[in-house]
Structure 1
Amino acid sequence: MQHNIANKVVVITGASSGLGEATARHLASLGASVVLAARRKARLDALVEELTAAGGKAIAFETDVTRAQDLHALMQGAVAHFGRVDVLINNAGLMAIAPLSETKVEEWDRMIDINIKGVLYGIAAALPLFEKQNSGHFINVSSVAGIKVFSPGGTVYSGTKYAVRAISDGLRHEVGGAIRSTTILPGAVDSELKYGSSHEQSASNVKDFYQQAIPADSVARAIAYAIEQPADVDINEIVLRPTVQEF
């Protein structure tokens, strides 16, 4: 079904590393035009150069998903360059693990701003375009921590990922028959997500937990599977984790 990916314009947040970077590589190899968004522009530019050298189509925009205007500018830039947007992958995320008793309120705020509001800002920027086109596909990255609370330590992180799942399901119901909505819920996947914890003991626990991680392109393939389906097939949720992962 590669023809269902070829020539689609796919916007990816958090594209400078991990899941976003792997997904950009995979989709570009299948013929998609990829629009890369993240704060680290130099890393995006290097990835664009790599993908373009390999015959792919890619552009990059410096984007902070906690700023609604950045997401709006990203979508407008994608349309200006490629003429349309077919898929938005809301992938940017932060996982700051620490017990609630550490009261790391600033980290809670940051996770809410990136993991929840960042997704909402992406939806707000893309939905009017998708409605105008009468087509489009939202892919929101949640987590297995959006199915079961990852505690102690991940309570607030889980809260944000439960929210992504709830927002995705409500979005699916509201946007009707022409716009698709997929939630990806990965387990331990090799990415920079594991470096988000400032609490020393939690960071050590996370490092141990991630020794079982599977490569980021595992998620890229799941995303491609959702995109490549015919327009009347909506893959709503994909849960994937390492075979050995119990949680």
Structure 2
Amino acid sequence: MADDPLSGAVALVTGASSGIGAATARRLAREGAAVMLVARRRDRLDEVVSGIEKNGDLAYGLEADLTRPEIADEVVQQTVDRLGRLDVLINNAGIMLLGPALHTTVAEWDRMVALNVAGLLHVTHAAVPHLIGSAATSPRQVADLVNVSSTSGRVARPGSSVYNLTKFGLNGFTESLRQELITEHVRVSVIEPGTVDTELVDHLAGVVGAAARRQVDGIEALRADDVADAITYIVTRDRRIAVNELLVRAAEQTW
């Protein structure tokens, strides 16, 4: 519909095969955006895209490993080539591997840094010129970049040192980039969800995984759709409004 808030806009969502990414892609499509979904799992990606298309909305899926700079560049370029522009980037792809530093492998740390930091930087670097161009030519007169961080970017806890590193760093990067792109009419925002009932916890094994699952089960966690609603709120504001930072905790969450 022409009166949808994101009518005519193009959105790129990373980590879009499940959880927050999938929910956000569905919600942005309902608001009128054509959506490019990016993830590693082809089967899950196709399932989400199919669901969006059944609602009469436009979506495509790209299977990609964003930790490789050339692939990140290609994903952004394919989005622009196929859909004509890029108005909204949602950097959601990430992984959480918890455990005490003494008993955690460097390989696990490297996996988190590769996706949560390097992958996000690669996509952002490729996307920013297109976002600037769209802000200058769009009827909305603004473009949006939203980084999905975490309460772990605000509160450090034992067993999550490198995950904290990636999210604290993401918050600082977002604020600096926000200031750089103000004059280009590209809004840069960070959203920090608390405990969300998604597959992120399922990546954890053994004692750490069991403890994390008990923590999630001990409260009424946020749903992926709750976070998608918050992201959609950010990117559908009038151009005069910038929601720079949004902290969304489960109501019963104390940390």
TM range (shorter): over 0.9
- Deviation (angstroms), 1:8: 1.7
The answer to whether residue 17 in structure 2 is matched with residue 29 in structure 1 is no
- Deviation (angstroms), 1:46: 1.8
One of 198, 208, 213 as aligned partner of 1:202: 208
One of 175, 187, 197 as aligned partner of 2:194: 187
The answer to whether residue 55 in structure 2 is matched with residue 54 in structure 1 is yes
- Deviation (angstroms), 1:215: 0.8
Q: With the length of structure 1 as denominator, give the TM-score of the two structures.
A: 0.95
One of 172, 177, 181 as aligned partner of 1:166: 172
- Deviation (angstroms), 1:196: 2.1
**Aligned partners of 1:138 and 1:27: how far apart in 2?**
13
Unaligned ranges ≥5, structure 1: none
Aligned length: 244
Higher RCO (C-alpha 8 Å, min separation 6)? 1
- Deviation (angstroms), 1:176: 2.6
- Deviation (angstroms), 1:210: 1.3
Q: Which residue of 2 is the match for residue 17 of structure 1?
A: 18
Unaligned ranges ≥5, structure 2: 137-141
Q: Which residue of 2 is the match for residue 234 of structure 1?
A: 242
Q: Which residue of 2 is the match for residue 110 of structure 1?
A: 111
Percent identity over the alignment is 38
The Cα offsets for residues 189-231 of structure 1, whole Å up to 9 and x where unpaired, read as 1111112224x21111111111122210000000010011112
RMSD: 1.3
- Deviation (angstroms), 1:169: 0.5
- Deviation (angstroms), 1:4: 2.7
Q: With the length of structure 2 as denominator, give the TM-score of the two structures.
A: 0.92
The Cα offsets for residues 101-157 of structure 1, whole Å up to 9 and x where unpaired, read as 1132111111111111111111111012123334521100000000010x2111111
- Deviation (angstroms), 1:7: 2.7
| SS at structure 1 position matched to 2:145 | strand
Q: Which residue of 2 is the match for residue 44 of structure 1?
A: 45
One of 144, 147, 155 as aligned partner of 2:151: 144
